[in-house]
Amino acid sequence: MQQQKSDPMGRIWQIAKKEQGRLLLSVFYAVLGVISGVIPYIAAGKIISGIITENSDLSYYAGMVLIALAGYVMKSVFYSWGLSVSHKAAFSLLAEIRKEIFAKLPRMPLGTIIDTSSGKLKQIIVDEVERMERPVAHMIPELTSNIIGAVAVWIYMMIVDWRMGLICLISVPVGMFFFLLIASSYGEDYRKSVEITQDMNSSIVEYVHGIEVIKAYNQGRSSYKKFKDKVMTNAAFYYNWMKKCELNTSLCYSIAPCTLITVLPVGWKMYVSGSISADVFMTSIMLSMSVVGPILAAISFTDSSAKVSTTVAMVDELLSGEEQNHSDIPVIFDGYNIGLKGVSYSYHKGNEVLHDVNLEIPQKSFTALVGPSGSGKSTIAKLIGGFWDVEEGSITIDGKELKSIPLSQLYDCVAYVSQDTWLFDDTIMNNLRMGDTTASDDKVREVATAAGCNDFIEALPDGYKTRVGRGGTHLSGGERQRLAIARAMLKDAPIVILDEATAYIDPENEALIQRALTGLIKNKTVIMIAHRLSTVMNADQIVLVNNGRAEAKGTHVELLSCSSLYRDMWQAHISEGGVR
């Protein structure tokens, strides 16, 4: 990572492997454009020299004007060609980076994604990647060509008269000194600016997502203050940063171009003494003015270079993040019995949440996971579903380690329905079809009817074409849950995991949903996490999870007789009217 930060251009060149040919072509065009841009200066010097030497040949001046015009036209044409090629390469590169990121995310452990704020992910994928367009499209060809162009002009000036070539550079190092004062900390300052902006973006996302709670608890003033403080911190940082750079930037841009301060008096003295000709004197003046222009143009990419260094590091951090290490070779299942042996797991090092869990879940059986909140039930279910990989112990399906099963095949084997149902801002039909993208409309309607969804869907203004809003906000919690069950039924996976899948179901619809679940879990290996013990009384086995351990196993009757914690939970449940 340090190498990437210190050599952003090299890293971009590496990332742009598929577009290197076009980028080289854009650099070639840009170099030709910069060199062509010097031609009018040389022609102007010749014209002034002719005037000083009292050359009265009009054709001479006409020829110089045409040469200057040709140089200007060539500069414009080559510049346009270079930018056209580099922009095509840049946008192609941005598309490839985003494709790589979106291909990467499903391969990463779910915990990593959850721990990364949506504001940060949005900024990396949308904002930061977009910011690479200008560096790729402009910095690579223009920075390279300006440096090469400035060196070429200076070499030509040294050929014209080496003394004038050295004299013209006196002001440049002085100006560059002030630039280096900025550049020494610019990259770090830019990195801090990105972090502060990410913090502000996360605060904005949190504020917007929590607006319902803010309004319900009348916390608008305090919540807005938190949001406002983040915005003001961001603004203050940028203000102080620009203020720190202002003086040195002004001195750099004021002193570096002042080549004429040395070229004019020294050159005049040499001309008067006969040491150089008028032609050499005027050519040196024009070249000295053109040699600094490309250097200043190159300096203008300081900000872009800092952006690249930070952006590439952020993109690389995401692309090089930990992946779930699974085989790529599909396996053949003879059954779908599940086994957990000595499974321990921690989301973060030093904070183990599961401890030596051993569990056998027979094929086509109904296993319930119950226990206090935070005991580890959902963690067990998600480990079985392949959302994370176990660190200690093993999980098998049909005797095969999960890591030996390709992730895509594992996901095809499992239908997961959680209490936090997510629906995309699309039609109900398309949300249901997520379970099977090849399903026909009739098949989707058939499954929706079996899941008890058809009646409320048909009652909506646009039926199955109704858009549900981001996250399904246009629907009630119970309706979203029923759609999630229907989506899982359409997937028809051999293993079904229900993580509090009936949490939002109202009593009036509970019987309907239970019938839908019966259809979903028929002939499947089922794992159900339940808070209401009455819903799992008839499970083939109930596993009591407590403090990250599988504390007890058995049927409802067996646990009542052998587990005091389960008895207490059952008594609390029935005292709340849980059995209906």
Strand 495-499 and strand 525-529: the pairing is parallel
Res 395: pLDDT:
94
d(CA 489, CA 452): 12
Write the DSSP assignment of 445-506 as a string of letters. Answer: HHHHHHTT-HHHHHTSTTGGG-B--GGGTTS-HHHHHHHHHHHHHHHT-SEEEEESTTTT--
Structure tokens at 280: 């050499």
Sign of the CA dihedral running 337, 342, 348, 351: positive
Each residue's pLDDT tens digit, 62-83: 999 999 999 989 988 998 898 8
Query: For residue 358, what is the enclosing H or E element?
Result: strand 351-361
Res 527: pLDDT:
92
d(CA 279, CA 53): 9
Please, are residues 450 and 456 in contact by the beta-carbon 8 Å criterion?
Answer: no
Res 495: pLDDT:
92
Q: How large is the C-alpha radius of gyration of the chain?
A: 35
Of residues 49 and 85, more confidence is placed in: 85
Of residues 144 and 381, more confidence is placed in: 381
pLDDT at position 319 over 70: yes
Res 2: pLDDT:
37
Each residue's pLDDT tens digit, 179-208: 777 777 777 787 788 788 878 877 877 777
Please, are residues 248 and 299 in contact by the beta-carbon 8 Å criterion?
Answer: no
Structure tokens at 515: 């019938």
**Overall size of the chain counted in residues:** 580
- Does residue 302 come out as left (phi exceeding 0), alpha (psi in the -120 to 50 range) or beta? alpha
- The torsion defined by the Cα of 435, 441, 442 and 446, in degrees rounded to 10, comes to 40
Structure tokens at 139: 């910095």
How sure is the predictor about 579, in pLDDT bands with cuts at 50, 70 and 90? low
Write the DSSP assignment of 541-557 as a string of letters. Answer: EEEEEETTEEEEEE-HH
Rounded to an integer, the average pLDDT of 442-467 is 89
How sure is the predictor about 46, in pLDDT bands with cuts at 50, 70 and 90? confident
Please, are residues 412 and 385 in contact by the beta-carbon 8 Å criterion?
Answer: no
Q: Rounded to whole angstroms, what are the CA distances from 137 to 49, 120, 130, 237? A: 39, 25, 11, 29
pLDDT at position 539 over 80: yes
Structure tokens at 238: 């940028």
How sure is the predictor about 380, in pLDDT bands with cuts at 50, 70 and 90? very high
Each residue's pLDDT tens digit, 557-575: 999 999 899 998 888 878 7
Query: For residue 320, what is the enclosing H or E element?
Result: none
Residue type, 152: A
Rounded to an integer, the average pLDDT of 26-39 is 84
Res 44: pLDDT:
81
Nearest to 44 by CA among 233, 288, 268: 288
Each residue's pLDDT tens digit, 349-358: 768 889 999 9
pLDDT at position 110 over 90: no
**What percent of the chain is modeled with pLDDT above 90?**
18
pLDDT at position 472 over 70: yes
Alpha-helical regions (H) of 300-376: 302-319
Res 5: pLDDT:
44
Most confident among 133-142, 153-162, 565-574 (mean pLDDT): 565-574
Res 358: pLDDT:
93
Q: What contacts 24+ positions apart, CB below 8 Å, involve 408-414?
A: 409/330, 409/331, 410/326, 410/385, 410/386, 411/385, 411/386, 412/493, 413/333, 413/336, 413/493, 413/494, 413/495, 414/384, 414/385, 414/386, 414/493, 414/495, 414/496, 414/497
Res 3: pLDDT:
38
Average pLDDT over the chain reads: 82
Phi and psi at 341, nearest 5°, equal: -125, 115
Least confident of 117-126, 393-402, 407-416: 117-126
3-state secondary structure 150-216: HHHHHHHHHHHCHHHHHHCCCHHHHHHHHHHHHHHHHHHHHHHHHHHHHHHHHHHHHHHHCHHHHHH
CB neighbour burial string for 521-543, b if at least 16 within 10 angstroms, e if fewer: beebbbbbbbbbbebbeebebbb
Least confident of 43-57, 130-144, 264-278, 406-420: 130-144
Res 181: pLDDT:
75
**What percent of the chain is modeled with pLDDT above 70?**
88
Nearest to 377 by CA among 495, 500, 287, 286: 500
Query: At which residue do the structure tokens 């042996």 appear?
Result: 341
Partnered with residue 230 across adjacent β-strands are none
Rounded to an integer, the average pLDDT of 105-118 is 74
d(CA 452, CA 32): 70
Of residues 340 and 106, more confidence is placed in: 340
Res 302: pLDDT:
67
Rounded to an integer, the average pLDDT of 447-459 is 87
* Ordered structural domains, the chain, with CATH: 2-160+308-319 (1.20.1560.10), 338-575 (3.40.50.300)
Sign of the CA dihedral running 502, 507, 509, 515: positive
How sure is the predictor about 6, in pLDDT bands with cuts at 50, 70 and 90? very low
Burial class (CB in 10 A: 0-12, 13-18, 19+), 551: middle
pLDDT at position 504 over 50: yes
